[in-house]
Structure 1
Amino acid sequence: MLFFLYKRMKSKCFFTRKHVLFCCIVCFVYVLYVLSHHLQESILPRSFHHLSDFSYGEDVMNLTKMAGPFLVDTPYCKIPNLDPLDISVKHWVRQPMRVACPRDMSLTYVFGGKLFVNWTAVNISYLKEGKMVAYCRYQSIQHPENGKHNDYSYSVESDKFREWVNVSKEFIRTQCYNASNNVIYTNFHYVMNPLYSKSDVEVPRETRTPNVLLVGVDSVSRMNYIRYMKKTQQVMLKLGALEFVGYNKVADNTFVNLVPLLAGKFAEE
């Protein structure tokens, strides 16, 4: 084709150089399109076949069939019941890499409402890196009373401790210092402390009501939950959990989505 155009231009000047350049660009774009289409349809599915070997459990299959063509089917809202592993997207679903946790032990840990210094880990760290802990302190992580829902601040540091210390706060930052009073280690801990004593909440058995536990995972769609958290979903279904089908976020972050779910109003209301 290009040779034909060139000959016509040379013999009769039927086309200008701009016409030839334009035709070359069109041909080049077309070739790229064909190659990319071929790559998508044949090479990629075979390359990632071992990574996209996903299958539904029997419980999930039954749940999907029972849902029908719509997850939500009302006069005002219709949400289609899409297949998370449809053939059009399955070859893009890739098995994530395993998370390699660091093998170094934490220099501090929490147990039974107490914050401990792990001297076994401290001594190993000293042998590897030459860092010896002289003492540690902790600070509670606080939410300002009149601040935004994602604001936080640190309290004043606690007294020095070398073995363990009682902690009454839920979230803390721990920092350990060397003999020169320089920070050589930082960690964050969640401390589980009962808000009430058992006697304060004990009620007669005949008046007890069922407990309701809400489990949510931020920044994960229902589709990806089914694709990548199959074991979690299977456990939840075996426990008789009720899936919030059709539930959608209305804003960013946790608090502003929980308020509408629990109260039926926006957080500003």
Structure 2
Amino acid sequence: VASSLSWKTFDLVVKVSKCIDFSNFVRLEDDVVVVWCRNTHKDQVVYKNVHYVVTVTDEIKNKLEKTENDTHLSVVLIGVDSVSRLNMIRSLPYTYNYLQQNDWIEFKGYNKIGDNTFPNIMGILTGMNVS
């Protein structure tokens, strides 16, 4: 699944590519993939989900080379209950601007899968729901 590069048309232009069967690994070319796992004996779908792919691009490699020192990469996940992305932009403008100015990755198009932080963070980390 490939979407428009512009955030203004992010959900308007979606291109779905041909399905690729694989058993060990596959090189991912797009930011979002739909994964279907089938039982080969019965040809039944046993798992289906959408995953966001974070790829280390040349731009990211260049940023890392510029900041090469004793600092190591770190990952911070922020999970906020009951606040949509647009509501965060409206109600937490300083926080949102800080995240934007520091090149944090924003999951545009991500929807909640549960009623509190835990199921939503687990969805991001594992691609599965709590049940």
TM, length-normalised to structure 2: 0.48
TM, length-normalised to structure 1: 0.25
Higher helix share: 1
The structure whose RCO (Cα within 8 Å, separation 6+) is larger is 2
